[in-house]
Structure 1
């Protein structure tokens, strides 16, 4: 599948750059490069490649793998969704803006956890993907420890819309503090080999903020499995100069 995705995304990039060079002054490679689902489908037709889940192609280059060298050599680092553009069909962008958030070498705190916190019946079956790391986090009570709140799991794979476009949050919990105030805990989860993406964190946060059925206060969190350890992140999502931005507030490591 990786080879199929690479060929498709390379074809789309080449075609979109050529088209934009004819439309704008200067080089298209000076800007973010927009594309849509129909560009991906055109690539599949031209290359005679079949992919069942077309949106997974741009998602892969948002979170799971780097862009091909034929694209990244021009300074592009990731694919994001541009929610500022009109229309229900997502506008994807090849972007040069720094999107990927790596696991830091130095964390704010390190804690011990144990597989003994997991029910014996599930231990042999937990995968190293996003649902596996969420399962470990939930059974070991890591979210409560990290946030200082009493945390109650509400739902997984929550679908919602951000400015008219579909988005999906990996996990949503409600946290309650000592005063009885409630917080929506928007959790993005990444397994081994997957990477946190600023654009995705922004979309998660804005989507939950706009849902009246959830608490007004939203805390943006992430759980990442890396080399067998679990890392919990908390982020500040804020607006600056008209753009949404993300800063990492703290990272704890659970060995």
Structure 2
């Protein structure tokens, strides 16, 4: 059984679409242009840095694909490390633990909400919110977003989304 594909109007600039290669950087661009972190986590998020190479105490050097900061309607602030995967790459348990360690070490006052994203196909993106529970990486939530033209979102789709609200 597969998850429902939530249709989102594709805001990726056509010139970016034309020249993107379908790799992790293309995935990160689609996430950024379509504000999928905001939509998925229900917060307002801002890209802080991408391709971050840094060090974490007791781990050493790590790399995070992209880091967002954000806030919710009550003023809570978040740090969101994003792990992007393309092709047959799998979510990395080690990378998730390193991302959380970085956030805990560098932003202890912010709530860490690690996210992993993966292309299912060119315009279908799977997103996972992850957590560490009993030293294990666990999935908090998974959603599939299909980037489409506005005309591809039917009244039936909107009725379904409305009833899910």
Structure 1 length normalisation: TM-score?
Answer: 0.53
Match for residue 66 of structure 1?
A: none
Match for residue 245 of structure 1?
A: 136
Match for residue 2 of structure 2?
A: 106
How many residues end up aligned between the 2 structures? Answer: 144
Contact kept, 8 Å, 1:132 with 1:191, in 2: the verdict is no
From the superposition, tell whether residues 153 and 215 of structure 1 become closer, same or farther in structure 2 (CA, over 3 Å).
Answer: farther
The unaligned stretches of length 5 or more in structure 1 are: 1-104
- Greater relative CO, 1 or 2 (CA 8 Å, sep 6+): 2
SS in 1 for 2:106: coil
1:131 and 2:22 correspond: no
Contact kept, 8 Å, 1:220 with 1:237, in 2: the verdict is no
Matches within 5 A, 1:156-235: 156-162=50-56, 163-212=58-107, 215-228=109-122, 229-235=124-130
From the superposition, tell whether residues 128 and 168 of structure 1 become closer, same or farther in structure 2 (CA, over 3 Å).
Answer: same
The unaligned stretches of length 5 or more in structure 2 are: 147-165
CA separation in 1, counterparts of 2:72 and 2:41?
Answer: 9
CA separation in 2, counterparts of 1:131 and 1:106?
Answer: 26
Match for residue 46 of structure 2?
A: 152
CA RMSD of aligned residues (A): 1.6
1:118-145 deviation digits (Å, cap 9, x = unpaired):
1122120112111100100111111111
CA separation in 1, counterparts of 2:39 and 2:59?
Answer: 35
CA separation in 1, counterparts of 2:50 and 2:110?
Answer: 19
User: Stretches of 4+ moved more than 2 A in 1?
Assistant: none
SS in 2 for 1:196: coil
Contact kept, 8 Å, 2:130 with 2:141, in 1: the verdict is yes
Contact kept, 8 Å, 1:224 with 1:231, in 2: the verdict is yes
Match for residue 163 of structure 2?
A: none
From the superposition, tell whether residues 193 and 114 of structure 1 become closer, same or farther in structure 2 (CA, over 3 Å).
Answer: farther
Matches within 5 A, 1:59-74: none
